[in-house]
C-alpha cells in the first residue's frame, strides 16, 4: 500500500529537529494536551517511511521502495546477460577446448545453473529477461507490465552484456584455443575452424558430432531444421516462463522457484537439442559472441556462418516466443 505524503502542517511539526527520534518525542509532547496521540503516531510512521522512501532507503515493506529506473534495469539486463555468456560459454570452452566433461548432460546442467543464478541476481530489478526474444514476447503479450518502448533499451543492454561476457570468456581460454588450433592444424577463418569457435558461436549440426563416427555431414541438419529447433526450444522456454509467472495459474510459485524452473528448462533444452544446432535459444547470446569471434579472425565462419545459417538463431527465437505467447494465452484465457 502506497503511503501518502505528509501535509505541510505535519511536516512543520516534525521538521523542527534533525533527528527523527527527537521529532517524535517533541511531537508527542506538543500534542499531549490534545490527547491525540494516535494521530501523531500515525504521522510519525508516515513521515519516517516517506523520508526513507525519498532517500532510497529500504522500508518495512518492499513495496514501499522506489521502483528502479530504466538505467538500473538496463544495467541489470547487461549484467545478467553477461553472466550467462561468461559462464555459459565458459562451460562450452571447458567441454570442447579442455575436454573437462564427458557428454552433454554436464553441459546442460551447468548451463541451467548459470541461467538460474543470472535470473536470481537480476529479476528484482529488470525482470531478468536476458533474452531479446523474451523481451519481445513480454511487450507483445504483457504490455501492462512491460511497455513496448522498453524493448529497444533492453535489447541493447542484452547485446552489450553478451559482447562483454563472451569477450571476457575468450580472454580466459585464448591460450588453450591457440594451442589446440596449432596442435590440430586448424586455420582460423577457414572451413573447419568452426570447431574452435563453436564454444562461442552456434552451428548446425553441432561440429562435435560431424565425422566418420556418426556419419553426419555439414548437411545433416538443414537451415530450416535449425530454424525449427531454435523456435521450438525458445518457445518452450517462453511457455514455461509465462506459466510460472501468470497470476491466474493456480500453481504459481515464488520468484526463487521461478528462476529454478527457468534454469531447468534451459538445461533440458540444451541436453536434447545441442547435438542438432548447439541450442542458442537467445539472439543476444548468439549474435554478441559472433561479433567477438568475427573480430578475432573467424570472419565468415562467424558471420554469416557456414550455410549462411546465422539467421536461424536470430529469427527462430522470436517466432518461437510469439507462438508460445499465443498458445499460453489460449490455454489460460481462451481464444
Q: Using alpha carbons, select from 156, 35, 161, 142 the residue that is nearest to residue 89.
A: 161
**Cell 537480476, residue located:** 122
All structural domains of the chain: 72-333 (1.20.1080.10)
Residue 229 has pLDDT above 80, yes or no: yes
Question: Does the pLDDT of residue 32 top 60, yes or no?
Answer: no
**Is pLDDT at 12 greater than 60 in this prediction?**
no
Q: How far is Cα 315 from Cα 148, in angstroms, rounded to an integer?
A: 19
The Cα–Cα gap between 323 and 232 comes to 9
Which residue, among 1, 238, 203, 246, has the nearest Cα to 92 in the 3D structure? 203
Cell of 121: 541476481
- Burial letters 188-206, b for 16+ CB under 10 A, else e: bbeeebbbbbbbbbbbbbb
pLDDT tens digits, residue range 235-287?
A: 999 999 999 888 776 665 666 788 999 999 999 999 999 999 999 999 999 99
Q: Tens of pLDDT along 72-111?
A: 999 999 999 999 999 999 999 999 999 999 888 999 999 9
Amino acid at each position: 500500500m502506497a503511503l501518502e505524503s505528509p501535509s505541510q502542517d505535519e511536516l512543520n511539526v516534525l521538521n523542527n529537529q534533525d533527528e527523527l527520534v527527537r521529532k517524535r518525542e517533541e511531537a508527542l509532547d506538543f500534542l499531549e494536551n490534545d490527547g491525540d496521540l494516535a494521530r501523531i503516531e500515525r504521522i510519525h510512521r508516515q513521515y519516517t517511511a516517506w523520508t526513507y522512501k525519498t532517500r532510497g532507503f529500504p522500508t518495512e515493506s518492499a513495496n514501499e521502495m522506489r521502483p528502479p529506473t530504466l538505467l538500473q534495469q538496463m544495467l541489470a539486463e547487461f549484467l545478467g546477460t553477461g553472466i550467462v555468456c561468461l559462464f555459459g560459454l565458459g562451460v562450452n570452452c571447458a567441454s570442447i577446448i579442455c575436454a573437462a566433461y564427458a557428454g552433454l548432460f554436464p553441459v546442460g546442467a551447468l548451463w541451467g545453473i548459470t541461467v538460474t543464478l543470472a535470473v536470481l541476481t537480476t529479476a528484482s530489478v529488470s525482470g531478468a529477461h536476458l533474452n531479446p526474444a523474451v523481451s519481445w514476447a513480454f511487450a507483445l503479450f504483457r504490455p501492462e507490465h512491460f511497455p513496448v518502448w522498453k524493448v529497444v533499451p533492453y535489447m541493447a543492454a542484452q547485446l552489450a552484456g553478451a559482447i562483454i561476457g563472451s569477450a571476457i570468456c575468450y580472454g580466459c581460454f585464448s591460450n588453450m584455443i591457440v594451442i589446440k588450433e596449432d596442435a590440430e592444424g586448424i586455420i582460423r577463418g577457414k572451413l573447419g575452424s568452426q570447431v574452435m569457435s563453436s564454444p562461442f558461436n552456434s552451428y548446425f549440426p553441432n561440429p562435435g558430432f560431424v565425422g566418420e563416427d556418426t556419419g553426419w555431414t555439414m548437411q545433416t541438419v538443414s537451415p530450416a531444421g535449425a530454424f525449427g529447433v531454435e523456435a521450438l526450444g525458445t518457445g518452450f522456454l517462453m511457455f514455461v516462463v509465462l506459466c510460472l509467472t501468470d497470476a491466474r495459474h493456480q500453481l504459481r510459485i515464488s520468484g526463487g522457484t521461478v528462476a529454478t524452473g527457468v534454469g531447468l528448462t534451459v538445461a533440458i533444452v540444451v541436453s536434447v537439442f545441442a547435438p542438432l544446432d548447439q541450442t542458442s535459444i537467445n539472439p543476444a547470446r548468439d549474435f554478441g559472441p559472433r561479433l567477438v569471434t568475427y573480430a578475432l579472425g573467424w570472419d565468415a565462419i562467424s558471420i554469416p556462418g557456414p550455410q549462411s545459417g546465422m539467421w536461424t538463431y536470430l529469427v527462430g527465437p522470436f517466432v518461437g516466443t510469439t507462438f508460445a505467447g499465443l498458445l499460453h494465452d489460449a490455454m489460460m484465457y481462451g481464444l
